[in-house]
Structure 1
Amino acid sequence: MTRVWILPTLLVLCGSAVATGLILRGSPGPAVAFLVFFVLLAGAHSPVVFPKSIGALEAQRRSAVDGRPVVFWRPGCTYCLRLRIRLGRSARQLHWVNIWRDPAGAAAVRAANDGNETVPTVFVAGRPHVNPDPEWVREQLS
Protein backbone atom coordinates (compact mmCIF):
# COMPACT_ATOMS: atom_id res chain seq x y z
CA MET A 1 0.00 0.00 0.00
CA THR A 2 2.75 2.48 0.81
CA ARG A 3 4.78 1.69 -2.32
CA VAL A 4 2.34 3.62 -4.53
CA TRP A 5 2.98 6.77 -2.49
CA ILE A 6 6.79 6.70 -2.72
CA LEU A 7 7.06 8.69 -5.97
CA PRO A 8 4.51 11.38 -4.98
CA THR A 9 6.19 11.75 -1.59
CA LEU A 10 9.62 12.12 -3.17
CA LEU A 11 8.29 14.72 -5.59
CA VAL A 12 6.82 16.80 -2.74
CA LEU A 13 10.05 16.49 -0.73
CA CYS A 14 12.18 17.55 -3.72
CA GLY A 15 9.86 20.46 -4.43
CA SER A 16 10.05 21.51 -0.79
CA ALA A 17 13.86 21.36 -0.83
CA VAL A 18 14.09 23.48 -3.98
CA ALA A 19 11.53 25.96 -2.63
CA THR A 20 13.41 26.24 0.66
CA GLY A 21 16.64 26.94 -1.18
CA LEU A 22 14.97 29.63 -3.28
CA ILE A 23 13.41 31.26 -0.20
CA LEU A 24 16.80 31.33 1.55
CA ARG A 25 18.24 33.09 -1.51
CA GLY A 26 15.47 35.70 -1.36
CA SER A 27 13.25 34.49 -4.20
CA PRO A 28 9.85 33.68 -2.68
CA GLY A 29 7.93 34.01 -6.00
CA PRO A 30 9.84 31.29 -7.87
CA ALA A 31 9.84 29.20 -4.66
CA VAL A 32 6.04 29.15 -4.60
CA ALA A 33 5.95 28.34 -8.33
CA PHE A 34 8.35 25.40 -7.89
CA LEU A 35 6.45 24.07 -4.91
CA VAL A 36 3.09 24.28 -6.71
CA PHE A 37 4.60 22.56 -9.77
CA PHE A 38 6.02 19.68 -7.71
CA VAL A 39 2.78 19.26 -5.72
CA LEU A 40 0.78 19.08 -8.96
CA LEU A 41 3.28 16.61 -10.40
CA ALA A 42 3.00 14.50 -7.25
CA GLY A 43 -0.78 14.59 -7.47
CA ALA A 44 -0.68 13.48 -11.09
CA HIS A 45 1.46 10.48 -10.16
CA SER A 46 -0.55 9.53 -7.11
CA PRO A 47 -3.29 6.91 -6.94
CA VAL A 48 -5.75 9.74 -6.30
CA VAL A 49 -5.83 10.64 -10.03
CA PHE A 50 -6.90 7.17 -11.13
CA PRO A 51 -10.30 5.63 -10.47
CA LYS A 52 -10.38 3.12 -7.65
CA SER A 53 -8.53 -0.04 -8.59
CA ILE A 54 -10.09 -3.44 -8.24
CA GLY A 55 -8.60 -6.91 -8.42
CA ALA A 56 -7.89 -8.54 -11.77
CA LEU A 57 -10.34 -11.37 -11.23
CA GLU A 58 -13.12 -8.97 -10.24
CA ALA A 59 -12.31 -6.69 -13.21
CA GLN A 60 -12.43 -9.62 -15.63
CA ARG A 61 -15.74 -10.77 -14.14
CA ARG A 62 -17.24 -7.28 -14.46
CA SER A 63 -15.88 -6.91 -17.99
CA ALA A 64 -17.52 -10.19 -19.00
CA VAL A 65 -20.85 -8.85 -17.71
CA ASP A 66 -20.78 -5.27 -19.06
CA GLY A 67 -18.25 -5.58 -21.93
CA ARG A 68 -16.13 -2.64 -20.76
CA PRO A 69 -12.33 -2.80 -21.17
CA VAL A 70 -9.96 -3.62 -18.29
CA VAL A 71 -6.91 -1.36 -17.91
CA PHE A 72 -3.84 -2.71 -16.10
CA TRP A 73 -1.69 0.18 -14.83
CA ARG A 74 0.80 1.17 -12.14
CA PRO A 75 1.51 4.47 -10.37
CA GLY A 76 4.36 6.51 -11.79
CA CYS A 77 3.84 5.23 -15.34
CA THR A 78 3.77 8.22 -17.69
CA TYR A 79 1.97 6.25 -20.39
CA CYS A 80 -0.74 5.26 -17.89
CA LEU A 81 -1.05 8.90 -16.85
CA ARG A 82 -1.31 9.99 -20.49
CA LEU A 83 -4.07 7.43 -21.08
CA ARG A 84 -5.94 8.50 -17.95
CA ILE A 85 -5.75 12.21 -18.74
CA ARG A 86 -6.65 11.84 -22.42
CA LEU A 87 -9.65 9.65 -21.57
CA GLY A 88 -11.00 12.34 -19.27
CA ARG A 89 -14.33 11.49 -17.70
CA SER A 90 -14.61 8.35 -19.85
CA ALA A 91 -11.88 6.76 -17.71
CA ARG A 92 -14.39 6.14 -14.93
CA GLN A 93 -16.25 3.71 -17.19
CA LEU A 94 -13.23 1.39 -17.43
CA HIS A 95 -12.15 -1.24 -14.93
CA TRP A 96 -8.71 -0.25 -13.55
CA VAL A 97 -6.30 -2.79 -12.03
CA ASN A 98 -3.15 -1.58 -10.26
CA ILE A 99 -0.55 -4.28 -10.94
CA TRP A 100 1.51 -3.22 -7.91
CA ARG A 101 -1.41 -4.03 -5.63
CA ASP A 102 -2.72 -7.11 -7.38
CA PRO A 103 -0.40 -10.07 -8.08
CA ALA A 104 -3.01 -11.65 -10.38
CA GLY A 105 -3.09 -8.43 -12.41
CA ALA A 106 0.69 -8.39 -12.69
CA ALA A 107 0.62 -12.03 -13.80
CA ALA A 108 -2.00 -11.24 -16.46
CA VAL A 109 0.14 -8.42 -17.83
CA ARG A 110 3.27 -10.59 -17.86
CA ALA A 111 1.37 -13.35 -19.68
CA ALA A 112 0.24 -10.86 -22.34
CA ASN A 113 3.67 -9.20 -22.76
CA ASP A 114 6.19 -12.05 -22.95
CA GLY A 115 7.05 -11.82 -19.25
CA ASN A 116 7.29 -8.02 -19.11
CA GLU A 117 5.09 -5.80 -16.95
CA THR A 118 4.41 -3.33 -19.74
CA VAL A 119 1.57 -0.96 -18.89
CA PRO A 120 -0.92 0.29 -19.73
CA THR A 121 -2.22 -2.99 -21.04
CA VAL A 122 -5.87 -2.82 -21.98
CA PHE A 123 -7.92 -5.99 -22.32
CA VAL A 124 -10.89 -5.68 -24.66
CA ALA A 125 -13.03 -8.80 -25.07
CA GLY A 126 -10.21 -10.85 -23.56
CA ARG A 127 -7.56 -9.60 -26.03
CA PRO A 128 -4.62 -7.52 -24.74
CA HIS A 129 -3.59 -4.21 -26.32
CA VAL A 130 -0.36 -2.65 -25.04
CA ASN A 131 -0.23 1.14 -24.73
CA PRO A 132 -3.18 1.74 -27.04
CA ASP A 133 -4.21 5.11 -28.38
CA PRO A 134 -6.63 6.79 -25.94
CA GLU A 135 -9.05 7.58 -28.77
CA TRP A 136 -9.19 3.88 -29.65
CA VAL A 137 -9.91 2.99 -26.02
CA ARG A 138 -12.69 5.60 -25.92
CA GLU A 139 -14.20 4.02 -29.07
CA GLN A 140 -14.28 0.64 -27.31
CA LEU A 141 -16.65 2.11 -24.73
CA SER A 142 -19.29 2.78 -27.39
Structure 2
Amino acid sequence: MSVPLRLLLPAVLLLGGCAGKPPATVTLEESQASRCHPLKLHQGQTLVLSLPSDPTSGYRWQLLDAAPAVLRSLGPEVYANPEDSGDLVGSGGESTWRFQVANAGDALLALRYQQAWDADGAPARTFECALHAE
Protein backbone atom coordinates (compact mmCIF):
# COMPACT_ATOMS: atom_id res chain seq x y z
CA MET A 1 0.00 0.00 0.00
CA SER A 2 1.45 3.33 -1.02
CA VAL A 3 0.76 6.55 0.91
CA PRO A 4 0.50 9.65 -1.28
CA LEU A 5 3.29 12.18 -0.72
CA ARG A 6 0.79 14.96 -0.02
CA LEU A 7 -0.39 13.02 3.07
CA LEU A 8 3.15 12.42 4.38
CA LEU A 9 4.37 16.00 3.97
CA PRO A 10 2.54 17.49 7.00
CA ALA A 11 3.84 14.70 9.25
CA VAL A 12 7.41 15.18 8.04
CA LEU A 13 7.21 18.95 8.60
CA LEU A 14 5.79 18.46 12.10
CA LEU A 15 8.51 16.00 13.08
CA GLY A 16 11.20 18.23 11.60
CA GLY A 17 9.96 21.18 13.64
CA CYS A 18 10.11 19.16 16.87
CA ALA A 19 13.68 18.00 16.24
CA GLY A 20 15.09 21.52 16.53
CA LYS A 21 13.11 22.58 19.60
CA PRO A 22 15.26 23.22 22.69
CA PRO A 23 14.56 21.14 25.81
CA ALA A 24 12.05 22.61 28.27
CA THR A 25 14.46 22.14 31.19
CA VAL A 26 18.23 22.64 31.34
CA THR A 27 19.97 21.01 34.31
CA LEU A 28 23.33 22.33 35.47
CA GLU A 29 25.66 20.89 38.12
CA GLU A 30 28.97 22.08 39.53
CA SER A 31 30.89 19.54 37.42
CA GLN A 32 29.34 21.05 34.27
CA ALA A 33 30.69 24.58 34.79
CA SER A 34 32.60 24.24 31.50
CA ARG A 35 29.21 24.61 29.72
CA CYS A 36 29.05 28.21 31.00
CA HIS A 37 31.09 30.01 28.35
CA PRO A 38 28.29 31.07 27.95
CA LEU A 39 25.43 28.66 28.63
CA LYS A 40 22.93 29.17 25.81
CA LEU A 41 19.30 29.33 26.88
CA HIS A 42 15.96 30.18 25.31
CA GLN A 43 13.10 32.23 26.75
CA GLY A 44 10.60 30.02 28.53
CA GLN A 45 13.11 27.32 29.46
CA THR A 46 13.58 26.25 33.07
CA LEU A 47 17.13 26.24 34.44
CA VAL A 48 17.74 23.87 37.36
CA LEU A 49 21.03 24.44 39.20
CA SER A 50 22.19 21.77 41.68
CA LEU A 51 25.30 22.19 43.81
CA PRO A 52 26.76 19.91 46.52
CA SER A 53 26.01 21.31 49.94
CA ASP A 54 26.36 20.48 53.64
CA PRO A 55 24.50 23.02 55.80
CA THR A 56 25.30 21.01 58.96
CA SER A 57 28.88 22.27 58.60
CA GLY A 58 27.67 25.86 58.68
CA TYR A 59 28.43 26.38 55.00
CA ARG A 60 25.65 27.55 52.68
CA TRP A 61 25.48 28.67 49.08
CA GLN A 62 24.69 32.37 48.79
CA LEU A 63 23.38 33.87 45.57
CA LEU A 64 25.62 36.83 44.77
CA ASP A 65 24.01 37.49 41.40
CA ALA A 66 20.79 35.70 40.41
CA ALA A 67 21.01 37.12 36.86
CA PRO A 68 17.68 39.00 37.21
CA ALA A 69 18.04 40.59 33.77
CA VAL A 70 17.56 37.12 32.24
CA LEU A 71 16.25 34.77 34.95
CA ARG A 72 13.19 34.75 37.19
CA SER A 73 13.39 32.67 40.37
CA LEU A 74 10.79 29.92 40.67
CA GLY A 75 11.24 29.62 44.44
CA PRO A 76 13.81 29.42 47.21
CA GLU A 77 16.77 27.07 47.44
CA VAL A 78 15.74 23.49 48.17
CA TYR A 79 18.15 21.27 50.12
CA ALA A 80 17.94 17.50 49.78
CA ASN A 81 19.91 14.85 51.62
CA PRO A 82 20.52 11.57 49.75
CA GLU A 83 18.44 8.68 51.09
CA ASP A 84 21.48 6.53 51.79
CA SER A 85 23.12 9.13 54.09
CA GLY A 86 20.77 8.41 56.98
CA ASP A 87 20.63 12.16 57.78
CA LEU A 88 23.99 11.97 59.53
CA VAL A 89 25.47 15.24 60.74
CA GLY A 90 28.23 16.25 58.37
CA SER A 91 26.88 14.22 55.49
CA GLY A 92 26.54 16.12 52.27
CA GLY A 93 23.50 16.73 50.19
CA GLU A 94 22.48 18.97 47.35
CA SER A 95 21.09 22.50 47.11
CA THR A 96 18.88 23.18 44.10
CA TRP A 97 17.53 26.39 42.58
CA ARG A 98 14.97 26.67 39.80
CA PHE A 99 14.77 29.61 37.43
CA GLN A 100 12.76 30.44 34.34
CA VAL A 101 14.43 32.21 31.43
CA ALA A 102 12.27 35.33 31.31
CA ASN A 103 14.20 37.68 29.01
CA ALA A 104 16.74 37.59 26.21
CA GLY A 105 20.18 38.92 27.00
CA ASP A 106 23.47 38.20 28.73
CA ALA A 107 23.97 37.79 32.47
CA LEU A 108 26.12 36.11 35.10
CA LEU A 109 24.75 33.66 37.65
CA ALA A 110 27.13 33.75 40.64
CA LEU A 111 27.14 31.97 44.00
CA ARG A 112 29.60 31.50 46.85
CA TYR A 113 29.81 28.74 49.46
CA GLN A 114 30.76 30.02 52.87
CA GLN A 115 29.81 30.16 56.51
CA ALA A 116 27.26 32.88 57.26
CA TRP A 117 29.16 34.19 60.29
CA ASP A 118 32.35 34.60 58.24
CA ALA A 119 31.03 37.00 55.60
CA ASP A 120 34.41 38.77 55.32
CA GLY A 121 36.38 35.56 54.86
CA ALA A 122 37.19 33.92 51.56
CA PRO A 123 34.51 31.52 50.34
CA ALA A 124 35.30 27.80 50.39
CA ARG A 125 34.00 27.54 46.81
CA THR A 126 32.43 29.71 44.15
CA PHE A 127 30.24 28.96 41.15
CA GLU A 128 29.81 31.27 38.19
CA CYS A 129 27.95 30.70 34.95
CA ALA A 130 27.77 33.17 32.08
CA LEU A 131 24.35 33.02 30.43
CA HIS A 132 23.18 33.96 26.96
CA ALA A 133 19.42 33.84 26.45
CA GLU A 134 17.64 34.22 23.13
Superposition TM-score tier, normalisation by shorter sequence = 0.3 to 0.5
Using CA pairs under 8 Å that are at least 6 residues apart, name the structure with larger relative contact order, 1 or 2. Answer: 2
The TM-score with structure 2 as length reference comes to: 0.32
TM-score (norm 1): 0.31
Richer in helix (by share): 1
Larger Rg: 2
Q: Which has the higher strand share?
A: 2
